Amino acid sequence: MLQVLWLWGIAASMAVLTSWLVKRTIHAQTTADRAVVFYLLVTMASMFGGAVIFLLSPSGTSLLEAFGLNAILMTGGAVFVLRYYGEKYTEEELSEATSVSNSEISETKPVAELVKQSAPASLASRASLIFLIVLSEFLMGWTFVLASGSSVAATGSSLNLAISTFDSVVGSDWFIFTMALEMILSVYMLRSSLPKSFFIIVLLQSIIMFFAPTAINNSSWVTWSIYLGSIVMIGLLIFFYEYLFNNRIIANGMRTYFVALISVYAFMMAGLYIWLIQGSALLFVLSIVAEMGLYFSVILTGKNIESGKSQSWMLDPWWVFAFLGMTFVAEYFMGGLFDIEYYGMSFVSSISLVPITGSIANQIGAAFFDFISYFGTVTGSAWFLIMMGAEMGALVVFKIRITREFETKIRLVLVLVAYFGYSILLPSFILSNPASVPFVGWSMGIGTAGAVAPAVLGAILGTYLITGVLSFLFGSRQTCSLFCTAALMYQGTFYDSMKEFNRTSTVGKKFLTSRISSLYKVIASLVIVSIIVAAVLSYLNSVRIINFTFFGTDITYFLYVFYFNFLWYIIFVSIPFIGTYGCVTTGMCHIGLFNQFVSRFGLFRLKVKDPMQCVNCETKDCAKACPVGLTDLPGSFIKSGQFRSHKCIGVGDCVSACPYENEYFYDVRGWLREKLGRKNPDVPGRPHLPIIGNPGQSATRSLVKESSLKLQKTS
């Protein structure tokens, strides 16, 4: 026990020293200052390298080898430091680095007397420093693993031994906890020189490093570290989303850092998933090393990461796609980790997979089936939805805070309730047989809970009856903007802000307005026909008239998994090329198509109090705010004072965006008031809360509203 305490004392001391050296590097004023830092890091690496040599094979020979290694490296490092000691910048270099006028520069004085803060270290210098930090940490971890009596179990080739050693050292508590301590200490020491937002990000990154499940060989630690580390990572993702929502224009360095960090976490989550299933931690420990390198790279960059060339991230769809794609990969494996921790390894063994054998066609079909089954089992699991709900739900809460219309606020609150109650709690944890319950068990229509069989035919028909009646009375908003999980995914602040892609992306522009384009007709027709054919085949198979399944799985259920547990997420991460609410704009959702069709003949519509206000409006904010790209809103308001569309799902952003509070909802409630002779509560007078939109729009709206009112008074 005493030996372990001594080792941890040394590890903590080395962590403090390394953090101080990082700070010293950032504030270095001359090449000689940096050379001293490098010398100390080389000394640390050689010291622990020598210890490893001795501990691997304790003998007099290995002791001499260790001393020899230290002598060579320390002597070489001393020569390197002396080479740059007292070095002076030339007049041109000093002028360029400090912007000091030529008359203030002395050729004889050392740079330290003239320069308070020098230019940042070069890329090569930073890369060398990071390499030495990682190397010294690895050798120190290896030293303590050996000194504490741990062994590396490996058989076979020397390559297997090297990989096993690497896994054991990097995945150990000696390496991970020391590294986490270094990261936290360096952030603390540099807190005054880091931008606030950047400080929060790197601090969360440090905490995530600490919760590495491989660090302690204990099942309780594995479970709790996965949960706690994932919670911190969810918090980091939420911070990313809000940062991007509030900062449309960001530095290229920050954009690169965001994608790089999310990519590292994607591989880290995948590595942990593989480790739990197969026992190999190689991918995970590689991602740990990559995270270290990225961390110290941005730390050494400091404030410069937010300087330099900047542009709107919305103008770079490929960057947005990379960010969304890597984020989803991290979320996917994080959900899988939750499933394994909750259900155990039975979760993986329960996934229906078939052997890839037989003819080429059969092999292709089997591979496709296995991929969709595995992918869809994770994305359709309760814990994946819980994780996504916590993440996206936070963005919806932020949206509620800035939404003006009280009815939209209420609907967004109901979205949160419906997501966790209707989509997760009832079907996954309360109802023992969801297939027998209409509307809940078959929330997405045919295929949701299995085959179309006589025993559940009543529940299926009841589902369409209930959802159809609701859509007739309240519009398809009851599905697409309330009960469907897409409502939570698309309506949070960050994802809602990307509806601009509906008007700028090549594919998104094909689905603009209420017009039913040829592409929409083709997609919707294929989806409806496939569901109807599958339903007929499923029913005939259930009553044993035919014997037809897709590799043993009911065809309607497989289509459901393909459409909603796979294709929907592909469309979701393709927002930069398709726009938001792709499930609605493209017509790929069969239950949405049904509800939208019924709504077209129902009571729901959008109305305006004064069509002339729409004539005078210069901004047409209602059209810009629509998340499904219904840019023909103003024209319809001007022409008839109302708007009805097959694609309108009643999100309500158009109502909140109207600068004159001229637009309002109309459904069965308004119809009943009219029949009872009561006035609709559509007059102004409610508190005016901040309007949804980009910063700076409120002032423009106020000016437009003021000029419009003056024009009306004049006329």
Tokens coding 300: 């050494």
Q: What is the pLDDT of residues 442-468, one digit of tens each?
A: 999 999 999 999 999 999 999 999 999
How does DSSP assign 465-505, residue by residue?
A: HHHHHHHHHH-THHIIIIISHHHHHHSSHHHHHGGGHHHHS
Report the alpha-carbon distance of residue 350 to residue 371 in Å, rounded. Answer: 14
Sheet bearing 663-666, strands edge to edge: 642-643, 605-608, 663-666
Q: Please name the amino acid found at residue 569.
A: Y
565 Cβ neighbours under 8 A, 6+ residues apart: 372, 375, 376, 377, 379, 380
Q: What is the pLDDT of residue 66?
A: 65
Q: What is the pLDDT of residues 474-518, one digit of tens each?
A: 999 999 999 999 999 999 999 999 999 999 999 999 999 999 999
8 A C-beta contact, residue 29 and residue 115: yes
In order of 477, 482, 540, the CA distances from 462 in angstroms are: 19, 19, 20
8 A C-beta contact, residue 366 and residue 401: no
Q: What is the pLDDT of residue 3?
A: 66
**Quick one: three-class SS letters along 196-241?**
HHHHHHHHHHHHHHHCCHHHCCCHHHHHHHHHHHHHHHHHHHHHHH
In order of 225, 304, 425, 670, the CA distances from 272 in angstroms are: 11, 33, 27, 54
- On average, the pLDDT of the chain sits at 85
Tokens coding 419: 């997501």
Q: What is the pLDDT of residues 562-575, one digit of tens each?
A: 999 999 999 999 99
305 Cβ neighbours under 8 A, 6+ residues apart: 195, 198, 251, 253, 254, 257, 298
Q: What is the pLDDT of residue 543?
A: 95
Strand partners, 607: 642, 664
Sorted by where each begins, the domain ranges of the chain are: 1-87+118-189, 404-597, 603-714
Query: In the predicted model, is pLDDT for residue 604 greater than 50?
Result: yes
Q: What is the pLDDT of residue 128?
A: 80
Stretch 193-201: mean pLDDT:
82
8 A C-beta contact, residue 98 and residue 111: no
Burial (CB < 10 A; 0-12, 13-18, 19+), residue 298, is: buried
Tokens coding 682: 């559509």
Beta strands in 526-678 (DSSP E): 605-608, 642-643, 663-666
Query: In the predicted model, is pLDDT for residue 427 greater than 90?
Result: yes
Angle, alpha carbons 400-401-404 (nearest 5°): 75
| Cα 525 from chain centroid (whole Å) | 33
Query: Which range among 57-71, 73-87, 542-556, 618-632 shows the weakest confidence by mean pLDDT?
Result: 73-87
pLDDT classification of 94: cutoffs 50, 70, 90: very low
Kindly report the backbone phi and psi dihedral angles of residue 116, in degrees, each rounded to the nearest multiple of 5, phi listed first.
Answer: -85, -35
Query: In the predicted model, is pLDDT for residue 129 greater than 90?
Result: no
Q: What is the pLDDT of residues 251-271, one digit of tens each?
A: 888 899 999 999 999 999 999
Q: What is the pLDDT of residues 207-235, one digit of tens each?
A: 999 999 999 988 899 999 999 999 999 99
Q: What is the pLDDT of residue 194?
A: 77
DSSP letter assigned to residue 644: -
Q: What is the pLDDT of residues 620-661, one digit of tens each?
A: 999 999 999 999 999 999 999 999 999 999 999 999 999 999
pLDDT classification of 157: cutoffs 50, 70, 90: low
Q: What is the pLDDT of residue 302?
A: 66
Report the alpha-carbon distance of residue 118 to residue 28 in Å, rounded. Answer: 7
Higher pLDDT, 527 or 130: 527
Report the alpha-carbon distance of residue 179 to residue 162 in Å, rounded. Answer: 21
Q: What is the pLDDT of residues 671-712, one digit of tens each?
A: 999 888 877 665 444 433 333 333 333 433 443 344 333 334
Q: What is the pLDDT of residue 384?
A: 96
Query: Which range among 95-104, 576-585, 636-645, 701-710 shows the weakest confidence by mean pLDDT?
Result: 701-710
Q: What is the pLDDT of residue 206?
A: 87
